């Protein structure tokens, strides 16, 4: 409706242009910038977006180099269940609390920071596992600088190890392998390195590029060396932040506390968060009333790469939401309100993720360049066969990427990965778990089931050639 009056045409004309582009819209629907540009072009107009249209989020003030200081790395620990993620997080937390902080009692707030014996700071996300990591990434949060992949030396590379590696690689986050449980008599770290090598992940002491460290999360052996390697990796990344600007961070977790109201743990990524600042996260805003560190001690400010519990938001944001500080409450409130409205509209809108039917529409508006696919199957042979054939469908205009493949049921983690990378999931003779199915519905991830490889290939082929008949 708004666009129609701006272009001085009737609403019906806009709707029919949209339909010709494969978009079925209603009169009150909010259109994205790209759609507006294309529609306006149909009527001979060129669109220029003003600052107000783009919402504050786009306005990211560049820090000038002289304002930037080093910031500590933020680390996520991932790996297969029972390989020792929690033990490692607990060992690091309990052994690296500096004396100045003593007296506080460890609180599990979703993140903590420590100082190594050399005084270097490292922040850890205390939600081990790639599900949390990828759920955040699905919300657009980029928070992890380095991933530690824990692998038990008395076991093997397991499915979740592979998934963790996969998720880190897709996110472009450097990995360090922590080969754990070397205190055990049956530990065989060389076997793990060999298995890694078989996956094309050659560790440094075998002449490769991946750092690895043998550790025991139980006795603490090798943990200092592991932290040194994290710092080395961080040095290469040249992590910088400007502590003198308004704070920006990512929500790690949030809850409603009986006595204190909404409590959110935020990993500060740039700037410094101070008491009294006006903050906005997701659809919620408010003044910073109080802040606590992971030892439950009150703090007045939080610098980059510091996790803090923040009190004062009007509600509980979601993990992965960005928290930002604004000059005025009015500004924060307006953005909060408009986000609420957009969320409401979006939840009523069409699919937010790719589906085979959607490919045709995206091809029509020229926004389709690559199709990400996750393949799960009952046997390795068919997964490989399917993946090889699908890769061959890549053309100049559209490339087909197999971002993950494996044997077994379609899991929640597959759905999260699909959500984070806008992928569709193909199940060959396998079904999703009930939780994965629920999540897929919620995240609007398309899962297609096949029992004949040829059918799968043909459908994908038709889709990327823009020839797929919609299913009714």
Feature table: binding site for GTP: 79-86, 126-130, 180-183
Helix axes 130-138, 412-421, angle to 10 degrees: 30
Nearer of residues 188 and 459 to ligand GDP, judged by Cβ: 188
Smallest distance from ligand GDP to CB 88, Å: 7
- 287 near 312, Cβ under 8 Å? yes
Q: How far apart are CA 29 and CA 4, in angstroms?
A: 12
Residues of this chain that bind ligand GDP (CB under 6 A): 79, 81-87, 128, 180-181, 183-184, 216-218
Q: How many helices (H) and strands (E) does the chain have?
A: 15, 22
The length of the chain in residues reads 472
- What token pair was written down for 191? 């076997």
| Distance from C-alpha of 153 to C-alpha of 179, rounded to nearest angstrom | 6
- Smallest gap from Cβ 260 to ligand GDP, in A, equals 29
Q: Which is nearer to ligand GDP, 13 or 154 (CB)?
A: 154
Which residues have CB under 8 Å from 126's CB, separation 6+? 89, 93, 108, 109, 110, 111, 112
The Cα 109–Cα 90 span in angstroms is: 13
Q: Which residues are annotated as a binding site?
A: 79-86, 126-130, 180-183
Q: Least CB distance from residue 129 to ligand GDP, whole Å?
A: 8
Closest CB to ligand GDP among residues 183, 301:
183
Q: Between 411 and 421, whose beta carbon lies closer to ligand GDP?
A: 411
Least gap, CB of 162 to ligand GDP (angstroms): 15
How far apart CA 10 and CA 168 sit, in angstroms, is 49
Q: Residue 173: name the closest of 217, 130, 214 by CA.
A: 130
Q: Name the residue nearer to ligand GDP (CB basis): 184 or 245.
A: 184
85 versus 96: smaller Cβ distance to ligand GDP: 85
Q: How far is the CB of 150 from ligand GDP (least distance, A)?
A: 6
Shortest reach from residue 387's CB to ligand GDP, in Å: 29
Residue pair 308/293 in contact by the 8 Å Cβ criterion: yes
């Amino acid at each position: 409706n708004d666009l129609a009056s701006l272009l001085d045409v009737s609403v019906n004309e806009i709707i029919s242009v949209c339909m010709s582009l494969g978009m079925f819209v209603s009169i009150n629907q909010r259109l994205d910038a790209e759609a507006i540009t294309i529609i306006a072009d149909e009527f001979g107009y060129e669109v220029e977006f003003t600052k107000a249209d783009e919402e504050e989020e786009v306005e990211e003030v560049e820090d000038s180099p002289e304002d930037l200081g080093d910031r500590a790395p933020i680390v996520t620990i991932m790996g297969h269940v029972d390989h020792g993620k929690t033990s490692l997080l607990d060992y690091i937390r309990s052994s690296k609390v500096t004396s100045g902080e003593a007296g506080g009692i460890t609180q599990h707030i979703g993140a903590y920071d420590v100082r190594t014996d050399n005084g270097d700071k490292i922040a850890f996300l205390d939600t081990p596992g790639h599900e949390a990591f990828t759920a955040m990434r699905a919300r657009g949060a980029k928070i992890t600088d380095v991933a530690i992949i824990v692998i038990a030396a008395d076991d093997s590379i397991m499915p979740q190890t592979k998934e963790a590696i996969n998720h880190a690689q897709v996110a472009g986050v450097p990995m360090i392998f922590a080969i754990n449980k070397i205190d055990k008599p049956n530990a065989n770290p060389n076997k793990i390195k060999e298995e890694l090598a078989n996956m094309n992940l050659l560790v440094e002491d075998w002449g490769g590029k991946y750092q690895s460290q043998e550790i025991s999360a139980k006795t603490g052996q090798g943990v200092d060396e592991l932290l040194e390697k994290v710092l080395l990796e961080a040095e290469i990344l040249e992590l910088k932040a400007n502590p003198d600007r308004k704070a920006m961070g990512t929500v790690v977790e949030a809850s409603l506390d009986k006595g204190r109201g909404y409590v959110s743990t935020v990993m500060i990524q740039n700037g410094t968060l101070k008491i009294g600042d006006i903050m906005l996260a997701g659809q919620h805003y408010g003044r910073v009333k109080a802040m606590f560190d992971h030892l439950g001690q009150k703090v007045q400010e939080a610098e980059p790469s510091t996790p803090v519990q923040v009190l004062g938001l009007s509600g509980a944001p979601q993990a992965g939401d960005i928290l930002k500080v604004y000059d005025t409450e009015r500004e924060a409130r307006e953005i909060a309100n408009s986000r609420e409205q957009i969320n409401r509209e979006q939840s009523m809108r069409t699919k937010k993720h790719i589906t085979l039917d959607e490919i045709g529409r995206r091809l029509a508006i020229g926004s389709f360049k690559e199709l990400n696919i996750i393949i799960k199957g009952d046997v390795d042979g068919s997964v490989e066969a399917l993946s090889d054939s699908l890769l061959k469908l890549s053309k100049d205009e559209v490339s087909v990427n197999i971002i993950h493949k494996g044997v077994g049921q379609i899991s929640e983690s597959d759905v999260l990965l699909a959500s984070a990378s806008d992928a569709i999931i193909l199940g060959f003779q396998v079904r999703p778990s009930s939780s994965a199915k629920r999540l897929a519905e919620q995240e609007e991830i398309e899962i297609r089931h096949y029992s004949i490889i040829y059918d799968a290939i043909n459908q994908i082929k038709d889709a990327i050639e823009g020839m797929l008949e919609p299913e009714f």
